[in-house]
Structure 1
């Protein structure tokens, strides 16, 4: 609980970091910094992976840095969002103006995400037209695993849609059940993608350094996998808040914004399947 001295010096600001970690820093929060360090470490891990293949650093350095950085990123994201939206939830009213700002904030964020993935697709089509595209043939990508995994992710969008409908109708039990199922399906999808990577790398010898198709494939699907992992963290936070009774037919803006994000990553995955998996299966590695 913030002290009277802290309240007297907050200058009218109401940032959630007053009770945030580490204590003693007033309104300064370290969670965005932790998240940024984790995000930067992902790129460091990718660089170390390439250096490991060249024998410059131990081969385990890249994967270890990557996994650790993803974990740090997700922990930082959880702490950031928890202190931003959960800690002071009961102190805020159901202000429709504030809810509208959050929805438009998510729309703006998704705009930047569209730009990010668009750049990735432009890169893919650019290198596909280059001379080096014929250097490697991809393995058989469009198998039963990717079909099952895609079906799971699409099903999660359906369950989340009906979960959102349920809370708007005040059906809390149905909302909790469908939300839990959505989170479970998301986790299964992430596990399925990790298993797919294992199959490609270990059994097919198809890695990030397997020609320009390998770099494009793992770059785009890995970026999407990171976004799904972020979405799973968001769903977990929403589910935890739902168990605390923080949603009702009148107060569910976080469910709306997280739903927008989750439907977006699902749509991006469909595009990735068509472009990468179906494209490689139909046209092969040669343009």
Structure 2
């Protein structure tokens, strides 16, 4: 018996491969590189724990920044809500959640500034005081610099939103930027654990 021919339209066709969004790929590469840098600073901080020849020590001067941490981690929720709003073309809702994200990030930075002010002028801990001061300001300062960069980018998007230039078709770009902010929040979990939990 001869084989029954299968109609062409019934033959399974392989799914067509679509090129991923270049901006997202670039952001993943940036996050990978930045993660390696942070890993080096974290390892250095852990390695030099307790090796300062004189004070002050972490247990003497560090206070756990619970409020600052809550604000920063909450900003990951608000930026996700902003992403969701833009996907559904709710521009005002997007702008509101985006602005709240900036406020939460700014509160975190203000809290960091207040902490550093206390450490420097009240406790006498500077980057040259001892090994703890060097590794602390290097690690926490590295994270703070990333938060500042993130806030500047978020602020630029908010300006475009207020000027009426933000549209639903920009959702993919916004998601790419949000990836960076989520990365900054995730890194803080590591820094918080190493510096304020293990390090004390």
Superposition TM-score tier, normalisation by shorter sequence: 0.7 to 0.9
- Counterpart of 1:147 (choices 66, 74, 83) is 66
Query: Quick one: distance in 2 between partners of 1:203 and 1:126?
Result: 27
Is the aligned partner of 1:280 residue 2:188?
Answer: no
Is the aligned partner of 1:115 residue 2:4?
Answer: no
Shift of 1:149: 0.7
Other-structure match for 1:263: 182
Say which SS state the counterpart of residue 232 (structure 1) adopts: helix
Query: Quick one: distance in 1 between partners of 2:170 and 2:109?
Result: 30
Query: Quick one: distance in 1 between partners of 2:96 and 2:173?
Result: 17
Other-structure match for 2:156: 237
- 1:40-79 Cα shifts (integer Å, max 9, x gaps): xxxxxxxxxxxxxxxxxxxxxxxxxxxxxxxxxxxxxxxx
Other-structure match for 1:60: none
Q: With a CA cutoff of 8 Å and minimum separation of 6, indicate the structure with the bigger relative contact order.
A: 2
Say which SS state the counterpart of residue 229 (structure 1) adopts: helix
Is the CA contact 1:169–1:249 (under 8 Å) kept in the aligned structure 2? yes
**Which stretches in structure 1 are left out of the alignment for 5+ residues?**
1-95, 282-287
Query: Quick one: distance in 1 between partners of 2:33 and 2:190?
Result: 17
Query: Quick one: distance in 1 between partners of 2:181 and 2:170?
Result: 19
Shift of 1:156: 1.1
Shift of 1:166: 0.6
Is the CA contact 2:86–2:94 (under 8 Å) kept in the aligned structure 1? yes
Say which SS state the counterpart of residue 272 (structure 1) adopts: helix
Other-structure match for 1:220: 139
Shift of 1:250: 2.7
- Counterpart of 2:23 (choices 102, 110, 113) is 102
Question: Higher Cα Rg: structure 1 or 2?
Answer: 2
Other-structure match for 2:170: 251
- Counterpart of 1:183 (choices 102, 111, 120) is 102
**Which stretches in structure 2 are left out of the alignment for 5+ residues?**
1-17
Shift of 1:134: 5.5
- 1:189-219 Cα shifts (integer Å, max 9, x gaps): 1111111100111111122122111111100
